[in-house]
Homo-oligomer: A and B are copies of this chain.
Amino acid sequence: QTSQVTIAGTMDLALRQVKNGDLGTLRSQVSGSNLTSKLVVRGREDLGNGLHAGFFLDATIGANTGTANAPFWDRRSTVELGHQRYGEMRLGRDWAPTHLVWSGFDPFTTLGIASANSFRNVFVSRALGQAFGASAAAAAANPTLRVNNAVEYFLPNTLGGVYGALMVSAGEGGTAGSGATRGAGGRLGWTNKTVDVALARYQTRNANAGRSFTDQAWGASYNFGPARVSVAQRKWSYVSDTTTNTLLGVQIPVGAGTIKLSYVHADQSGATAALNANDASLWGAGYVHNLSKRTALYGHVARLSNQAGAAFSVPGGVATSGLSTATNYFGGKASTAFEFGVRHNF
């Protein structure tokens, strides 16, 4: 047995300051604002006749405190069998297809203070909280980021720029909020070097009360040369509740670096007029300066503004509450933040 294993990963650490309205300012060190700090173990075997096998293990590192996540291989844990013409079958824990589309059009790839995932919050998005439970466990395990026990089929990369995948998973008698998702969906896209368009849908059938939760995303980008402009939308629906995230992003190459700008808006609907007014917006800007292909310095600024009683916040600030009777009630307040750090791929 010869070993052909690649060990790779990222260490990304930053200093962050978050000011949550008049609740105060907190300074912290954080992991993974440009790219997630992680350890990857992966490999590929050529089986002949166009066939290959492979595997991929990917574990988040909480680099500022040395932590691992639970599950340890939280980002991906898969085995693959593929054919260069017929595509690939993949089994295991993998990314939700909707996340891959959404993340791909965010200049900040859903990381750091300007993340387009700032509203992916079971405590504040009513659609997510109702569907999976407003708990820390549901925040970690709900299938809007990754999916356990998945069976996937990927299109081959020989289709003239068309790409896509199908995914199904069995609930195994558990609940979607605890990571046992009974769901099905997929994504489909097309790209040449200039244009990229994609859409995705993943429907979970065992959300709370055995009801369906639908996660949909689409996006498009155009590379003008001096700038890549993207627009995307992601919609979460559970019974009558809907949260719709809309994203505008710009990336501007400048010398050895890239300027990033983004705007994300969350619109909640389907509940009472008061709850439907709990919308929020996020402005983000950043600059990444590449020291090499693997190492970069970066800085981000962001401002998240809540409307009505919405209580979203940039992570890393003082504790906030969406409960109007709490002393740290944050409804309608704004989070402002900046961070700068270093990212090193290995």
Which A positions have Cβ atoms within 8 angstroms of B?
1, 3-9, 11-15, 26-29, 39, 41, 43, 45, 47-48, 51, 53-55, 57, 61-68, 70-79, 81, 91-93, 148-151, 169-170, 172-173, 179, 291-295, 318-319, 341-342, 344-346
List the B side residues contacting A151 at CB < 8 Å.
15, 29
List the B side residues contacting A344 at CB < 8 Å.
45, 53-55, 79
A6, B63: Cα distance in complex, Å: 18
Cβ contact within 8 Å between A66 and B5: no
Residue of B nearest to A49 (CB): B291
> Do A39 and B41 form a contact, CB below 8 Å, given A73-B66, A346-B5?
yes
Query: Quick one: which of A11, A93, A291 has the most chain B CB within 10 A?
Result: A11
A294, B61: Cα distance in complex, Å: 29
A39, B181: Cα distance in complex, Å: 26
Cβ contact within 8 Å between A13 and B91: yes
> Do A346 and B148 form a contact, CB below 8 Å, given A61-B57, A93-B65?
no
Residue of B4, B68, B294 near A53 (CB, 8 A) is B294
List the B side residues contacting A79 at CB < 8 Å.
11-13, 63, 342, 344
Cβ contact within 8 Å between A77 and B91: no
List the B side residues contacting A15 at CB < 8 Å.
91, 151
Cβ contact within 8 Å between A149 and B8: no
A15, B81: Cα distance in complex, Å: 15
What are 19 sample pairs from A and B whose C-beta atoms fall under 8 A apart?
A5-B8, A7-B41, A11-B55, A13-B91, A27-B172, A28-B172, A29-B92, A29-B148, A39-B41, A53-B292, A55-B344, A55-B346, A57-B61, A63-B93, A64-B149, A65-B149, A66-B148, A68-B72, A91-B342
> Do A77 and B53 form a contact, CB below 8 Å, given A3-B8, A172-B26, A173-B26?
no
